[in-house]
């Protein structure tokens, strides 16, 4: 699998439910970031978690990071129809090239009203 690979590829839930998306990566990282992309639009930065952090919250978002398993999860609580979008994780590797974000293919989240 490629660096920053999301799972599942697609997720469909009802409004009010929670949505969990996972991301796996291969190499050592400096940080991991989650982005949202609405259809045909640009990326919106959601949250950044550093390699020495285990959990981070921002509003209805909760991100965890397990560096021993090289994995991260994004939890969106009490989902809304407006959360419908593709969600990407991006890793910044440790070392000199940590500006080079590596993205997965994303999880397409559909929240049905």
Partner 1 sequence: NAGVMQNPRHLVRRRGQEARLRCSPMKGHSHVYWYRQLPEEGLKFMVYLQKENIIDESGMPKERFSAEFPKEGPSILRIQQVVRGDSAAYFCASSPRGSRGATDTQYFGPGTRLTVL
Q: What is the DSSP letter of 4?
A: S
Q: Does 31 engage in binding with partner 1 (CB under 8 A)? A: yes
Q: Does 45 engage in binding with partner 1 (CB under 8 A)? A: yes
E strand map for 1-113: 5-7, 10-14, 19-24, 29-37, 43-50, 55-58, 61-66, 71-76, 85-93, 101-103, 107-112
Contact 77, 18 (CB under 8 A): yes
Q: Does 57 engage in binding with partner 1 (CB under 8 A)? A: no
Q: Does 42 engage in binding with partner 1 (CB under 8 A)? A: yes
Q: Does 94 engage in binding with partner 1 (CB under 8 A)? A: no
For residue 61 the two structure tokens come to 């978002």
Distance of closest approach, residue 113 Cβ to partner 1, in angstroms: 26
Selected range binding partner 1 among 12-20, 58-66, 77-85, 88-96, rule: CB under 8 A = 88-96
How long is the chain? 113
List 40, 59, 68, 113, residue binding partner 1 (CB under 8 A): 40
Binding footprint of partner 1 on the chain (CB under 8 A): 4, 30-31, 33, 35, 40-45, 48, 50, 88, 90, 92, 96-106
């Amino acid at each position: 699998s490629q660096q920053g690979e999301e799972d599942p590829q697609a997720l469909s839930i009802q409004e009010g439910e929670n949505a969990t998306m996972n991301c796996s990566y291969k190499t050592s990282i400096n940080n991991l970031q989650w982005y949202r992309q609405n259809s045909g639009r640009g990326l919106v930065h959601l949250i950044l978690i550093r390699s020495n952090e285990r959990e981070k919250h921002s509003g209805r978002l909760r991100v965890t990071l397990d560096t021993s398993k090289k994995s991260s999860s994004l939890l969106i609580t009490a989902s809304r129809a407006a959360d419908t979008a593709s969600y990407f994780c991006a890793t910044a590797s440790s070392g000199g090239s940590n500006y080079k974000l590596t993205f997965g293919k994303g999880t397409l989240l559909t929240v049905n009203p």
